[in-house]
Amino acid sequence: MTVEEQSRPSMRTGAIVKSQFDIAADLVGLEPYMRRLLRSPFRSVAVEVPVRMDDGRIEVYRGYRIQHNGARGPCKGGIRFHAEADEDEVLGLATTMTWKTALVDIPFGGAKGGVQVDPRQLSKRELEAVTRTFTNRIAIVLGPYRDIPAPDMGTDQQVMAWLLDEYSKRSGYSPAVVTGKPISLGGSLGREEATGQGLRYCMEAYARDFDLPIEDSRVVIQGFGNVGAHLARLLHDAGARVVAVSDIDGGLHNDGGLDVPRLFEHAYAQRKPVPEFPGGDRITNDEIWRVACDWLIPAALGGVINEDGNAKALDCKVIVEAANSPTTPIADKILTERNITVLPDFLMNSGGVIVSYFEWVQNLQQQPWSLDKVNEELHRKITAAYRMVRDLVNKEHVTWRTAAYAIALTRVAEAEQLRGH
């Protein structure tokens, strides 16, 4: 299948990740056997998750834990509860985790889990039952030195606490088997906002290098959840003008800049729809792509920047990929031709897994870190990766995504070879 055929507007994460891998594998001249090894998962576990619902029925959900690669360390990646978390989607996300952990040089491989369920349709008791049954059925492949889950879309600290409890019943108290836990169960300070914080550090570094100061710059963000809301707050504090944001219910636009602290309280803390906030003009989820800005930040879904219209129409200088796989491969080409820089997901949104790594270290050492130490180490780790990618971009005149892939693929392939494969 050509890139063109694969890159339909409806392209999902799995297909985007596979297509990008093929481009990068050609670039670094990966041998055919290594290509096969890194294209497919090391281990894929599919389970049925039967749950007694509140009305007495038994519902059966499909669940997956896919370990893409563990050459550089235990597998690491979130668990997603979402109706569309099928095998292909979970594999794509697991694969991205391998490149992410390698690029930012933390001693983990890549994994992802998913249960095909809409958590909004579950009561709290049903959600707990799904979590405990799923954990039991995949526990055999988990472990602090084997595979360490974390939250993802549709799961949160509470879900991680149930997972920890269920796993610990079998194996003894094991806080290092999962990250993104509540602080009182061994979670790390700074984990909740870590992805937004990492994005901000990279944007600040880019701003200095390419003379695009954050202060007074115009920012548009799609998605106002964990990543989008925290990043909006951090950029607002740094002096940026956040001129438009959206969530699943629609968007809001204010050319003078939205009142982000109040919007954060309304839409993130109180979970109210973004368009109901009184400080701007309502816009649709399509109109947000036409708002002129310096930084355009997709922070919701995969495949949203595509060749079916918006890639040609975007009016921005830089696209900051906060979501996983927001840009299709053809859109990527169009944006390169239009001279719009795309800063790739597995560099930009790696702050979450970096602080998850710190959480794991703190659990193993039984020694909590201060918030200052977490943020200092996050800054050091993510800006080191940023600089490596930037230097390769400057040296080889390739895109940021290509440079990031070249570094990550080479590291993973080297680890596989040294292990004798």
Contact set with ligand NAD (CB under 6 A): 152-153, 195, 222-228, 246-248, 285, 299-301, 322-324, 349, 352
Residue closer to ligand NAD, measured from CB, 223 or 344:
223
Q: State the minimum distance, in angstroms, from the CB of residue 50 to ligand NAD.
A: 26
Q: State the minimum distance, in angstroms, from the CB of residue 394 to ligand NAD.
A: 26
Are the beta carbons of 87 and 161 closer than 8 angstroms? no
Residue closer to ligand NAD, measured from CB, 231 or 406:
231
Question: CA-CA distances (angstroms) from residue 187 to 194, 234, 316, 368?
Answer: 12, 22, 37, 9
Q: State the minimum distance, in angstroms, from the CB of residue 299 to ligand NAD.
A: 5
Amino acid at 25: A
DSSP letters of 219-261?
A: EEEE--SHHHHHHHHHHHHTT-EEEEEEETTEEEE-TT---HH
Residue closer to ligand NAD, measured from CB, 25 or 242:
242
Tokens of 265: 């309280």
Residue closer to ligand NAD, measured from CB, 224 or 405:
224
Q: State the minimum distance, in angstroms, from the CB of residue 331 to ligand NAD.
A: 16
Q: Residue with CB nearest ligand NAD?
A: 225
Residue closer to ligand NAD, measured from CB, 248 or 384:
248
76, 112, 181, 381: the catalytic one is 112
Cα gap 183→186, rounded to integer Å: 5
Q: State the minimum distance, in angstroms, from the CB of residue 409 to ligand NAD.
A: 20
Cα gap 263→269, rounded to integer Å: 9
Active site residue 76: no
Taking alpha carbons only, the member of 55, 51, 237 closest to residue 137 is 51
Are the beta carbons of 85 and 118 closer than 8 angstroms? no
Cα gap 240→295, rounded to integer Å: 10
Residues tagged active-site: 112
